[in-house]
Structure formats: C-alpha cells, structure tokens
Chains A and B, each alone.
Chain A
C-alpha cells in the first residue's frame, strides 16, 4: 500500500512538474547574480519612482552586511545568491489546447479537491474560454471594490498610482533591517499585492490573490501590504489549494499588515508549493517574513495558515499588539511528508494594555519529515492585563519523522497571564481500530482522524478554502502510513 500511495503522491506533486515551462530565450530578464546594477535594472524595468530605488539600494547595501541565519531546525545546502535570476518578465506559458493534454494524475488531484472544471483548466495552464475568463471575473470584482474606495491592486501598480500610501506604510512593520531575507526581499522584490481599506468600510467580499490579475506571476520575491483604516474590515486569502506550479527554488516573501483603531484583518493562507519528490530532491524553499501590527485600539488581526507544500518552510506570521485592547490570533496547520521540513510558528508581542492573543498550532509529520513549532510570546512591562493562550499539538505518523516544539515565553509584568500547553502523540490505535472495524479503509480513516485533529484551525478558514483544505490534508498525507 505504501508503494502505491507513494507513487500517487509523487505523481500528484512531482508529476505536474514534468510539464515545465518553456523559457522564451528572447525574454526580458536580468543577468544572473545580484549587484546594484541588477537592482537598478529591476527598478527601471518596473518604471518605479526614485524613492523606491533608494529603498531597494539601501536594503541591498544592508543585506550585504548580513549573514544568512541558520538557527532554524531545517537543513539545506548553501544557497548561492549570485546564481539566481532576480528579474524576468512574466513568462509565456505553453498553452495547452484542452484538458485531454493534461497529466491525468493532476486531473485526479483536482477532482479530489473538488475544483470546478473551468478552474481546473486555468490551473493546469489550459487556455480558458471567454465565459469563465478569470480576468473578467476579476474586473467585475474590482469595480465593485472601487465603488467602496477599496484599493486592491498589484504592488507595482500601487507604487505608481498610490506612491504616498506605499511610502507611508511600506517597511513600517517589516523594515529591511529586520532580517536577512527581509533585506533581500526589499532589495529585489518582484511584485505582490496591495490592499487599502478606507475608514469604516467593510469589504463586501473575501479578497483573494487567486482572482487578481497577474496573480499567477508575482515571482519569487513577493511583497504584500495591507492597510486597514479605522473601523474597517477585510478578509484576505492568499494562495490556492491546488498544486502550484513554480520553477523558482527560493521564495522570500514579505507580508505587512497594519490595522488601525477598531479595524479587523483576517489573513488566510493555503500554501501548497512543490515539496520536492519523495526522496527530498528539489522543492521550494519558502522563507517568509509575515508580520502585522495592531496599531490602534480594539484592532484585531488574525492569521490562519494551512501549510502543506514547500521543501522547506520557514515562516513566523507575527503580530505586534500595540493598541490597547487589541487582539491577535494565529491558527496554523502544518503538514510535512516525505523529506519536507517546516519550522513555523508565530510571535505575539504585547505592548498595549488588555491585549489578548491566541495561538493554536497543529503540526502533522509523516515520512522522513521534520516539523517544528517555534514561537515567542512576549509581554512588556506596560502591557497590563495581557492575556495569551497557546496550544501547540503535534501528531506523528510513522517512526522516521520528527516533531519539535520551541516556545519562548517572556513575561514582563505581574498582571498578564500567559499559558502554553502542548502535546505530542501519534494517531490513537483505538480511533483507528474503531474506523477500520466500521469498514473504513486505513487511508480514509487517517484522513478522517487528521481532519478531526485539525478542525479547530480549519474551521477558521473562509468557506471557500475550508472544504478544499480538508481534502488537501488527506491528499498530502497519502502514503504516509502503510
């Protein structure tokens, strides 16, 4: 059973990548390597204003002084930063003519995920017919958003059209001095999303990169900035449950969120990048800096993530709770299989009074993978009555994998209450036996139990994601228990 399922898994994940992209030789791209010239090249190609180039260069000069951090519980060969192409214009994909040309195993995955036929075509790179053109859907969405004054566009567009907002907010939450990858991203970022919700506006729909024009090719150094003005609300979804095709090895993204007084931002991610093959070859290195700040009173930011892809995940969506009575939440499910490695968690920095944070993290390790939770909860002296509750559970499937928990708790005043609890265990034999004797096969039983285990987090996902994410969990774990 294990062999068969491993094959399936390989085909599901690795299979797609047989259908690579054709590189247009005449394509507009920067020469390999990273120098100030590369950065000037990128900035010029994107027609950026002077201030942006300045920021990039400053970040680059700072980056040169930094060393790549190695403290995470992950192992990978050294990255040659001079061997990366830092800019290439959107590549032209080979357009397939119909679904028949698509790898049947990929279609099977889509079917399991319950993705509608038209969407399947789009994801598989089949020319999408006019009726269901994502661009037209997106255009309709954008006009209704614009009516409310919501700005939702690509980062490059924002730099050109709303330079004052970009200048005001970019780098305020994650400055380029923050860490090695943040400096690198600031220097060379390709594109990303920009969201601005004006005062008192409630976004009428879930904003999703999935529907945004150009979303497919934001490149490896993505940058997202979300600003929620006083009293506004937005739910933002990043990623997609279907296997994402991507040829870039290194991803270093930055996400910044600013929530003003009474604002609420809900950020959901489903990450399903290529995890490499079952022997641990290839796969994406996903080194992300995500941070939000609850700037105003009573503001709230919530992160929800389902991490199933990438060979190495290294990300800590964090929150700075500056405003009094602000609330932070972090819900995470991280699944690792085969040779995947994940070191993920969160930081909750309590600065304001009566700030509250909740951390629920569920790690699932299978195969030869390693899955770590690493988190910091800090309350400063002025954060009176701060309250935190953290729960980090790990589930181990198989005896070759590892599950680790590295919480850091720093409490600086007497009125705050911080609680952390964690458990590590394997799937209960009793539960499995119960399912099996009811005629449910092993694979489905494990899927069922794992979904039950992760339910607390999955239920926080927006409707659109939740159903697919559940199926994704089962697929990611296929072949993990023989």
Chain B
C-alpha cells in the first residue's frame, strides 16, 4: 500500500501517517520495540527534520529534499522473488551469503529468516521480532541515540524491517554476509530500513552492505544500523554506496564495542546525490579496537557528508579514522570527526585523519577534525589536508614519459589505494579497487552490472513485473 498526503509538510505528514498506519507499523513488534517507537516519535516531533542552523548540519542543507512528495511503504509488497533476475552486484565474483532489501523490505528466495547449522541467524528484522523477541528487546535501540539525531528518532518510530544478524558465541562466519539494498520505485519514495547485528562473545563476521538504486527517481533512505560486538567479537563492516544522482542516502551507524572486541568499518561512496554517513562508536570496555575508514569519490553536484563520533568511555582502547576524498566538478565534501576521551579513559590511542583532493575550483571541502579530551595519559592526534595532486610526483611521472592524463589517474588511484588496500578480504579489495579505478576514469555509473541496462540519459521508468518473478 502506497500512501501520500500531498498537502502537509513532510514532518506533519509523517506524524499523521504514523497514527494512520499504526497497526501495520507495529506488526509483530514486541512491547519493548513499541515503547522505543513512541519515544522515537516524541523525539522526532520535538526536533523536527535537521536544518542548516544546527552545528552538525551547517554544510548539508536538506530543506529542498523535504519538499518532495514522497510515497511510503508500510507493508511488504515484494515478498519472495529471485533478486538475481533483476540485479547482480558489482562485486559479483565474491562468494557471499547474500540477502536483499528492496525498497526497505526484505526479499528472499526461500525463507525470510535463515538459521545456519552453527546457530547463526540471518534474515528479516520483521520476522526476527516474531521469533527472537528476547534478543530484540535486549539489543534493538540500545546503541542508537534518538536524542542526538532526529533522523534516528524518526527511523526508530517507524522500525519495521531490515537485516537481522545474530552470531552465537565463538562462531566464526566464514562467508561474508552481503546485504544488497535496492531502491526501485516509479515515484519518489521514502524508506527507513533498520539493521541489527549482534556478534556474541568471540564471534566473527564480515558484513558487506551495498546501496544501489535502479532508477533515477528521487528517493530518500534513512537507514539506522546497530552493531553490537560482545567481548572478543570481531566485525568487519563494509559499506559500498553507488546510488543515483537523485537519491538521498542517510545512514546512521551505531557501533557498540565491549571488552577486547574489534570493529572495522569501511565506507566507500562511489556515487550518490546526497550521501550522509553518521558513524557513532562507543568503546564501552577496555581494549576495544575501532578502525574506521572512508573513501568518497564524487563529482557533478554530488554531496557527501561523513560524520564520525568516537566515544572512548573506557581505558586502553584504540581508535583510528582515515577518511579520504576526491572531489571533482561542483561536488561538495564534508567531514566532521569528533573524538571524545572520557575522564578515566587512560591509555587511549586515538588517531584521526582526513585527506582531500580538489580537482576543480568549484569543488568544495569542509573538514572539522575535533578532539575533546578529559584524560591525561592519552595519545591523540588528528590531521586534515586539502590540496591538489603533488606537483613533484606529477613531474616525476611526466619526466618518465607518462602523459598528463595517465599520470593524474595514477596519482589519484594511489591516493585512493590507501583505503582500498586495507580491505582484508582479497576478492573484495580487488573488486573495489577495480571499481575505484573505473570510477576515476569516469566509466562507472550506477547502471553498471545492472541487467536492465537502461540509458543514463533520461529518468528511467520501469516497474518490476511481479508476475514474471
């Protein structure tokens, strides 16, 4: 069921839609989740949509986007179908356990929720709310901070579906779990997927999260990701964003680390109209290890905004941030990193680095590497650079007979490589490396690898014919 009330501003529409569709929004959710929902709604009502007067939103104005007449899906329309028929991921030779979300709803070949032999559960959050209410109540919403983010509050109010992963104690999931998040709608659509990943004590998993759009229609995706790493757990989280120029993608990731746990997060933005990634890390106990990397390659009027907050709440933790960006044409890049070292978080090591290459005079970068430190026995450093390709390196390559264009390509690739190289799965690292290379040559579009091969020129309008699937 698609609903739109055209006359009201988006905030008021969402508030009235909430009550109108309350039964289907609530679905099989537990009482705990519904309590979260109400808190989220109240918080969103209080804060409203973020605006550029807010410190965190100074450089990212979403007001024009909110004018759009969005449609909303409060029930799953897609159900079971084979996603391979309409989409193959660009990282195709990767052996993964792959799951798909279409317009914010889980789609599946066999069952909405799979339980592997080793006890790992992968599947739809909506289904998990029915089958594993105790896990949901224990974790869902415990890391997210609706008080600090109106978008998180809004997502929390409308929690319905998304990806649920549970890895039991000591289990190592060998195959990466790949989530393909596809937006495909003939009309502007507003989606709010919610993902929850729980890695129990000593568990290990790799999550590859791909965001794609199949049409050039306007879409707004407000995603909230929560990842819990219990003591000794290790989670690798890769996010690859390759969206259409009319899409707006908001992702708030909340990473919660217990003792001796590790999280690697890697966000690669190749294309997107408006992309904002909030990463909020809490190092809750000793010897936590958070390694965050980001790469953004944007051109035309694309806008990418990376906001990182790391809360060192316990001693002896390590955090590292490396965000690199190449900005072409009139693209705009924003980076805001904040490290908070709390009073007793001694022996903290926290590093932060943001490097940007500007290729034109119209491109713009705003970077804010902030540190807030209340403990004395710490080593923290941050750095930011904005500049152009090193003229000495250029000269060196040119003097070796390499043409200017090729030399530039080489240097840009080397610049991006610092992030790509660190990807631990080799197949993924290579594929992403290739994608970055193609992207820098200007050959990668969102339609790459898409079986429909629609033309990039006009807005594509097509529907998935459900009867054929």
Given A399-B343, A411-B358, A414-B358, also A404-B385 (CB < 8 A): no
Q: Determine the main DSSP class of B at the interface with A.
A: strand
Q: B388–A415 contact, CB under 8 A?
A: yes
Q: B387–A406 contact, CB under 8 A?
A: no
Given A399-B376, A416-B387, also A422-B382 (CB < 8 A): yes
A244: Cβ under 8 A from any B Cβ: no
Q: A417–B383 contact, CB under 8 A?
A: no
B369: Cβ under 8 A from any A Cβ: yes
Q: B383–A426 contact, CB under 8 A?
A: no
Given A399-B377, A416-B386, also A411-B364 (CB < 8 A): yes
Q: A394–B369 contact, CB under 8 A?
A: no
- Closest Cβ of chain B to A347, distance in Å, is 14
B252: Cβ under 8 A from any A Cβ: no
Specify which chain B residues have a CB less than 8 angstroms from the CB of A399 in the assembled complex: 343-344, 346, 375-377
B378: Cβ under 8 A from any A Cβ: yes
Q: B373–A394 contact, CB under 8 A?
A: yes
A73 nearest in chain B by CB position: B372
B142: Cβ under 8 A from any A Cβ: no
Given A409-B365, A409-B366, A411-B358, also A421-B372 (CB < 8 A): no
Q: A409–B373 contact, CB under 8 A?
A: no
Choice from A403, A408, A416, A422 contacting B381 with Cβ under 8 Å = A422
Choice from A407, A421, A425 contacting B378 with Cβ under 8 Å = A425
Given A396-B376, A414-B358, A414-B363, also A419-B368 (CB < 8 A): no
B132: Cβ under 8 A from any A Cβ: no
Specify which chain A residues have a CB less than 8 angstroms from the CB of B360 in the assembled complex: 414
Specify which chain A residues have a CB less than 8 angstroms from the CB of B358 in the assembled complex: 411, 413-414
Specify which chain A residues have a CB less than 8 angstroms from the CB of B387 in the assembled complex: 416-419
A425 and B381 CA atoms in complex are apart in Å by 9
Q: A411–B378 contact, CB under 8 A?
A: no
Specify which chain B residues have a CB less than 8 angstroms from the CB of A425 in the assembled complex: 378-380
Given A396-B376, A413-B361, also A405-B384 (CB < 8 A): no
- Closest Cβ of chain A to B375, distance in Å, is 6
Within 8 A of B (CB), among A413-436: 413-426
How many residues of B are counted as interface, with CB atoms below 8 angstroms from the partner's CB atoms?
36
Q: A397–B376 contact, CB under 8 A?
A: yes
- Closest Cβ of chain A to B137, distance in Å, is 37
B410: Cβ under 8 A from any A Cβ: no
Q: A410–B365 contact, CB under 8 A?
A: yes
A412: Cβ under 8 A from any B Cβ: yes
A422 nearest in chain B by CB position: B382
A401 nearest in chain B by CB position: B376
Q: A407–B368 contact, CB under 8 A?
A: yes
A397 and B378 CA atoms in complex are apart in Å by 11
B334 nearest in chain A by CB position: A410
Specify which chain A residues have a CB less than 8 angstroms from the CB of B377 in the assembled complex: 399, 426
Q: B368–A406 contact, CB under 8 A?
A: yes
A378 nearest in chain B by CB position: B366
B454: Cβ under 8 A from any A Cβ: no
A398 and B367 CA atoms in complex are apart in Å by 30
- Closest Cβ of chain B to A334, distance in Å, is 15
A481 nearest in chain B by CB position: B376
- Closest Cβ of chain A to B387, distance in Å, is 4
Q: Would you give 10 A-B contacts (Cβ < 8 Å), ordered by A? A: A403-B373, A405-B382, A406-B370, A407-B384, A408-B367, A411-B358, A411-B367, A414-B358, A414-B361, A417-B386
Residues of A participating in the B interface, judged by any CB pair closer than 8 Å: 71, 73, 381, 394, 396-426
